[in-house]
Each structure stands twice: as C-alpha cells, then as structure tokens.
Chain A
C-alpha cells in the first residue's frame, strides 16, 4: 500500500490543496490499490477508470480551489445511489445494464465540492441484507479477515474504505446498513437524521427509513462529507428544511467530553451482547469517562419489539417500492413472454434474488386485506412508541451509547441459510431508523476472541449530528483511528 493510500481524507485534501499531490496522482493511487486488492475483496461492481482520470485531469488543469472542500479527493459510491452516466444495478440482475440519466443529489453535492467519483460499490441486493452475501454479482470479503463477511448492506463501501482503496465512500442505511458494516470492517459510518440528506436518486427500499451517509477512516473525514451532502432539496419532499452547519469545524472543536452526558440504555448492555464485544465497548466508555463524560443509565423499553416493527415496515415498503420493476420501462425483461402479466411475472421471477423475493412476499402479506391492521398498522403504532423512547432518553442525556452489533463480523455462509437469525442481528441499529434519528459507528477496538473490529454506536437528537461527531472525534483522538489494512 502506498503511503498516500494510508492517509486520511483530510490529510490528502490538504496535500491536494497545497499542490503537493495532484488530483491525477490521488486517483491513480486509489485505482492501483483497487487493482491490487479487489480480486480478493470484490468491493467494486464498476470502476470508471477513464471518467475518473479525465475528471481528475480537468481539476488539475484548473488548479486547486479552496472553496471546494473535497477538491481532487477520490470517492466511491454504493450502487444504490445514482451517478449520472454510471451503471446502477443495486447488485440485482433485474437492473443489469441500467444506466441512469439523473443523479442523486448527495452525489452531485460531493462532485460540486470537487470529489472525483471512481465507481460503484457492491451491496446486498436492493440493500436487503446484513452481510453483502445477497449481491447477485459477487460476495465482498472483510479486509480484516477475508473468511468473514464485511457486514451489510453497504459492505462494499466499508471494505473499500477499510482496505485503503478509497478515502471515503457513500453508503445507505435503512436498518443499520452503514453503521453495521462500518463496525464489522473497522471504519467510521454515519447515518444522518431522516430528512437531513436528500433521498433523490437513492433507489428506494424503505422510503420512510432510508438515509445516505458517509463511511470513512476518521470522524473528521465523515464530517467533511456530511457538510457536502446535507441540506434541503426540493426534489425530495421528505428532505428537511433545517439549517445545516459546518460539521467539520464542530467536530474538530471538541477536544474532550467535559459536560457531555452519555446515556447507556439498560436494554443495550449486560445481555444479548457477546462478552468480548461488550468488554471492548466498556473500555471505550471508560475512556470517554476519563475524558470528562458523565455516564447515566437510560431506558428504551420497547427495544424487544424493534426488530419485528422494523421488518414489518421495511418489507411493506419494499413490496410497494419494488412493484415498479416490471420489465416495462427499464431493467430486465423476459423476451419470450407473450402477454403483459406473463411478462411482469417472468421478468420479476428471473430478475430478483431470493432474499428480495422473500421480503417482497412478506411485505405483500402484511399489507394484504385481513392482515393490514394486525401487522402494518400495529407496527406503525409501535414505531411511534419506539421513537418516543428515544426522545425521552435523549431528554436525560446528550447522546445514547451502545453496541452497533451484538457480535463481530461472522464467517461467510454462517447465517445466510437462516433469515430470521440474520434479521435479529439488527436489534441495536434498526430502531434508530424507525425513530428517524442520527447515529454513527466508531471503531473502538479489536475483540480478543476473533481479532475483529468492534464499533461503538452514538445516537443523537434529531439534526444534532454535530454533537455526535464531536464526541466521537474526542474519543477517537484518545483511542486512535484504525489504520487501513492489507486483506488477509
């Protein structure tokens, strides 16, 4: 790995701005790193070498621009977000060959800030999964142990960042899909408040849950990206008209945790978490205490209902959202079908993978006549109770702290045959999406039993991303960020 690939985004950005590294050199270092590692990692579904180098060349000709906070920085994008002119498959056969002619607003935000887009990253098909094993194309490996999963659904994003292929990647988080892979691979992953980042151009899975966010190797790096992504967008009616702030300045300002009240939910600690994971998390929480944080116990009493509530709502929304994939306007079509309904059925049956079919069917079931009230409406009521739990807890503290995942990255094939067991792994991440609040994962150590990374989750009040980033940054300074690794 070249010394350039080991630098943080902030360090590279400063070198680029100072003219000590050119945009072409930065892009080339990343492309070489991808060439050297991706046969093993399989993080990328599409590398756009020519577009990236020509964009970098253009930037170099114009020279560094201090008004562009990501000038010349190579970044890669999860394949669920559209980039004008690049394929977008959502890791599904049904979208093979689809090239969008429009772009996700958050991607345009990165480009406007000067970022160079290298390509598209692997994921679970339509973001449905917690291991990236549901991709129709390839299975991404965890760079810290290639026999283990990178987490999911943004597994390509996390593996790419953690292995030094890119300085940052975008992911999306519907029930933990940024935070959990970040935790599994040992990088930082931020899920903003629902409405903080526009969903325009994010191919919808669960429209009331989805948010795009950054994965990076340091907290400050994520803050730079969030500033370029956040803000109101008239093209997304659920995007919030709330003021944004300079997330980087707010992050770097925090030197310690004096005056910060960290709430530890009793439902997240002491049970249901692997003891080695909990030991690593406790060391981090004690470091936070040394930095001045005050620890308080809080309660999220409806936690035991969160996974049921989450999957009912997510699957219901998925079944509605994916109804549009019918072989008419884009995507795969069965060419032999003789009439319309037959074409819908054959195209969808051939195009969707098994987990997507399973979720569409369960979503169809919970929305169908006779079951709507018992499942979907009931879950929507439980959702309000869960949100209220979080808001009540956040009245008693500044940030909620706990595990991202009850376990470290599991082995390939370990859970793929048992969908329910895999769903239950989302216990600590999915309620935050139901509540619509911001959360993030910070790597805080390596567990002693499996030598795999452990992530600590911070959760904040709506639109208080800066509080969360600042506290995570202060803790990161004490613990030290995780360096990129050679895949082993």
Chain B
C-alpha cells in the first residue's frame, strides 16, 4: 500500500466497472467512488502491519491437492439437465449473440 491515501475519482470507478463488466450511470459511479475511498481508506490501515516473512494464507484448508481419476463423469447429469436453465438453447448447445 502506498503512503498516500487512496483516492479514486469517477473515471477510476468507471474503469473498474468496465473490468467487472458493469455499465453504471454517472451518479452511481460518483456515489461508489466516494464509498470506495472511505472503505479503501479504512483498509489502508493494513499497511501499518508488519507482515515481512509471513506466508500468505489463501484458505484454511491447506492440505495437499485432492486428486481423482482423470475420467469424464458423464453419468451424473444429462445434456437436458445442463441446458434446462439456459436463457437460449437449440436443445444441444447454448446460443449466444454474435461474438465478432
């Protein structure tokens, strides 16, 4: 964390929204920017904590990776099951708008 206080403007909020695939109105972005500054400003407290040499902990379950046989499990769900909630489907595939 930098020594300076985090300050995000409306443009920064718009850039983050774009990364998150959201499209928000200017007034929402302005409100969010203010709230982000308050929240990140509080979080910046962490910078005063000495964590040198501390191994990051990403999960309480730090046991070794669990392996299973590399075999497709085709019995659990049918194609119909998997497509049953699709917003659009032709019965075999998910249909999406054009990609390019």
Residues 121-149 of chain A: 1 if any B CB is under 8 Å from the residue's CB, otherwise 0?
A: 00000000000000000000000000000
Residues 461-487 of chain A: 1 if any B CB is under 8 Å from the residue's CB, otherwise 0?
A: 000000000000000000000000000
Seen from chain A, the residues whose Cβ lies within 8 Å of a Cβ on chain B are: 97-102, 194-195, 207-208, 234, 237-238, 240, 302, 304-305, 307-309, 311-312, 319, 323, 326-333, 335, 337-346, 348-349, 352, 354, 357-358, 360-362, 364-365, 368, 374-375, 377-385, 387, 419-420, 423, 435-436
Known interface pairs A328-B96, A379-B46; A345-B35 also in contact (CB < 8 Å): no
CB distance from B17 to the nearest CB of A (A): 6
CB distance from B70 to the nearest CB of A (A): 15
A99 to B94: give the CA distance in the assembly, Å: 17
A375 touches B87 (CB 8 A): no
CB distance from B10 to the nearest CB of A (A): 13
Contact of B38 among A323, A364, A420 (CB under 8 A): A420
Smallest CB gap from A354: residue in B: B28
Q: Is the interface of B mostly helix, strand, loop or mixed?
A: loop
Residues of B within 8 Å of A100, CB to CB, are: 85
A328 touches B60 (CB 8 A): no
B57 touches A (CB below 8 Å)? yes
Residues of A within 8 Å of B43, CB to CB, are: 308, 311-312, 375
B20 touches A364 (CB 8 A): yes
CB distance from A302 to the nearest CB of B (A): 8
B19 touches A346 (CB 8 A): no
Residues of A within 8 Å of B51, CB to CB, are: 378, 381-382, 385
Known interface pairs A102-B77, A384-B56; A361-B21 also in contact (CB < 8 Å): no
B20 touches A382 (CB 8 A): no
Contact of B58 among A339, A358, A380 (CB under 8 A): A380
Residues of B within 8 Å of A378, CB to CB, are: 1, 46-47, 49, 51
Seen from chain B, the residues whose Cβ lies within 8 Å of a Cβ on chain A are: 1-2, 13, 16-17, 19-24, 28, 32, 35-36, 38-40, 42-43, 45-47, 49, 51, 54-61, 63, 65-66, 68, 76-77, 81-82, 84-88, 94, 96-99
A380 touches B1 (CB 8 A): no
Known interface pairs A102-B77, A328-B96, A419-B35; A238-B47 also in contact (CB < 8 Å): no
A436 touches B36 (CB 8 A): no
A357 touches B22 (CB 8 A): yes
Smallest CB gap from B22: residue in A: A349
A292 to B65: give the CA distance in the assembly, Å: 44
Contact of B98 among A101, A234, A338 (CB under 8 A): A338
Please give 13 more A-B residue pairs, beta carbons under 8 A apart, in addition to A207-B59, A305-B49, A378-B49.
A98-B85, A99-B84, A100-B85, A102-B77, A304-B45, A309-B46, A357-B22, A357-B32, A368-B16, A368-B19, A374-B47, A382-B51, A382-B54
